[in-house]
Structure 1
């Protein structure tokens, strides 16, 4: 069964960096994010790894694992919220105390490289995890409606439900790094798309993350989708949500074929793809070609340009939750049910 944490009002948020930390030049903006969280009534506790960054990681893998385990085991901490993603989270998985996670119930939220940890935790322990904004994204005076829903989603009680709608606009051009009231520059109209070109409704247990990194869980003890499907969700279909950070269309295709050959898409009800600034065509082969091929091969709906991933804003998607996705005339909704 799936276990759902509940984010208490005025909880203590633990910030640790299982992937990249914050270099010295980013400390002031990160401190601003801490202040914004405290303005919402939360207490913020930062680990040592947050303040360091050297050679593509915040600290050596055993150090990152130890700090993460300490926060998971600390009863005073109600949520773990990494500053952002990075590159080498996978190094620290062997140092994670998954037995301790099975004794705990607290949210872990993030995206990008953090989705490696999120997916591994849900697959190995049945603890629901949250794919959503990173801590650093919340440094603005206010959040847009889509990003800001993280709080209501994580405050949903077990067996309750929540609904999120497609954003009206998305962020195309990066703002400068100085503080701003809204962080994101939402200028471009959002349009969710389907391979069929028709309205779609898909249902299933959500699983997913950033393809660039979760693909490396295949064949490891941390990527056993088959055991999760049989032993935890009792053969319910999986609704995959996937996003691309840096892969061109051919590399993305290779990665998804690997997932298919590894059995990850067996008994899948559909695939959702987040917006991406990558998806570069290769020799005329495009992401749209790939979406169409996947829909034909798997015989399931494929929906793309959805609000999650590296092109903000993004929905808060819960690994393990039962979801109903509806798309009609470019707009969409995600209703998540916190079913065991």
Structure 2
């Protein structure tokens, strides 16, 4: 059985950086995010790692893990919310106390998705793949991003519906933030490798391919054990996104996941929009999707609201989902069962 944490109104959020912290010249972003969360009625407990960054990480692997473990055991904290992702979270895994993972949310994406997936696979505790903390520093959030709070406040046995965004952000304009931070200028359109009308059901698992691929073959990426012990024969829907990979590197990574058995029990895959997916000769990302769809005999939806091209839907690792797409519009119904 999957365990679902629950976020109460006025809860305390623990901010720690198991990957990258925020360097001093960007502290204003973190301060603004804290103020925004406090305005929403949340309390903040911040760790030391959130405020420092050196040599591609916030601190040593041990220190990052210790701070995370401490927040996980702190009974006052209901949500652990890193400032953002980074590069080297994988160094911390051997020091994370998976035996004492509590029933509380961890939320993030990018490099954080490696920790999220490892927690859910090893413990059956649901984790939340969604917005960064620093992206909540605006006066308000767009409709898609704002759903994070409703999703994390869904009770066990209940369900929550999210819809595809109206528009997405083509490129980051850090010096020109809108009141909701992002510059949402492009029309969202979900695409498919099969028919226009797609319906997929199963348990959600996923994250950033660049990082989660490194869990395959380790004790932290045992998908088969998760399927046998936590989801009682349900199939899996993978949600994946590419941060920096070329099409050939993405293809290699997906084949590795396939060979590791990650897609053995898979009903469908959702791929987020990406500003990477660089073609190699004339090998495009659409070719990658088509080949995988044909090999696995499953539908693949792509350009969905997930990952580094915001806004993004809040996907819960472990939740049962019904995903529908038609005429470029998508719906994700997550059922906390």
TM-score of the aligned structures, taking structure 2 as reference length = 0.99
Match of 2:272 among 271, 274, 291: 274
Task: Identify the residue that residue 165 of structure 1 maps to in structure 2.
Answer: 163
CA distance in structure 2 between the partners assigned to 1:336 and 1:22 by the alignment:
32
Task: Identify the residue that residue 237 of structure 2 maps to in structure 1.
Answer: 239
CA distance in structure 2 between the partners assigned to 1:174 and 1:167 by the alignment:
17
CA distance in structure 2 between the partners assigned to 1:267 and 1:28 by the alignment:
45
What runs of 5+ residues in structure 2 fail to find an aligned partner? none
CA distance in structure 1 between the partners assigned to 2:309 and 2:176 by the alignment:
19
In the TM superposition, what are the counterparts of 1:32-111 in structure 2 within 5 Å? Answer: 32-101=32-101, 104-111=102-109
What runs of 5+ residues in structure 1 fail to find an aligned partner? none
Q: Kindly indicate whether the alpha-carbon contact (under 8 Å) linking 1:130 and 1:317 is maintained by their aligned counterparts in 2.
A: yes
In the TM superposition, what are the counterparts of 1:13-32 in structure 2 within 5 Å? Answer: 13-32=13-32
CA distance in structure 1 between the partners assigned to 2:217 and 2:45 by the alignment:
35
Bigger Cα displacement from structure 2, 233-242 vs 39-48: 233-242
Q: Kindly indicate whether the alpha-carbon contact (under 8 Å) linking 1:270 and 1:301 is maintained by their aligned counterparts in 2.
A: yes
Match of 1:133 among 117, 126, 131: 131
State the Cα deviation string for residues 40-64 of structure 1 (Å, max 9, x = none): 0000111000010000000000000
* SS of equivalent to 1:13: strand
* SS of equivalent to 2:106: strand
State the Cα deviation string for residues 18-48 of structure 1 (Å, max 9, x = none): 0000000110121000000000000011100
Using the TM superposition, give the Cα deviation of residue 87 of structure 1 relative to its aligned residue in structure 2, in angstroms.
0.1
CA distance in structure 2 between the partners assigned to 1:245 and 1:192 by the alignment:
18
State the Cα deviation string for residues 110-156 of structure 1 (Å, max 9, x = none): 00000000000000000000000010110000100000000000000
Q: Kindly indicate whether the alpha-carbon contact (under 8 Å) linking 1:175 and 1:183 is maintained by their aligned counterparts in 2.
A: no
CA distance in structure 2 between the partners assigned to 1:173 and 1:121 by the alignment:
31
State the Cα deviation string for residues 242-297 of structure 1 (Å, max 9, x = none): 00000010100000000000000001000000000000101100110010001100
Using the TM superposition, give the Cα deviation of residue 177 of structure 1 relative to its aligned residue in structure 2, in angstroms.
3.8
CA distance in structure 2 between the partners assigned to 1:119 and 1:334 by the alignment:
19
Spell out structure 1 runs of 4+ moving beyond 4 A: none
CA distance in structure 2 between the partners assigned to 1:68 and 1:163 by the alignment:
30
* SS of equivalent to 2:77: coil
Q: Kindly indicate whether the alpha-carbon contact (under 8 Å) linking 2:177 and 2:183 is maintained by their aligned counterparts in 1.
A: no
Task: Identify the residue that residue 151 of structure 2 maps to in structure 1.
Answer: 153
Task: Identify the residue that residue 114 of structure 1 maps to in structure 2.
Answer: 112
Q: Kindly indicate whether the alpha-carbon contact (under 8 Å) linking 2:205 and 2:236 is maintained by their aligned counterparts in 1.
A: yes
State the Cα deviation string for residues 139-178 of structure 1 (Å, max 9, x = none): 0001000000000000000010000000000001222346
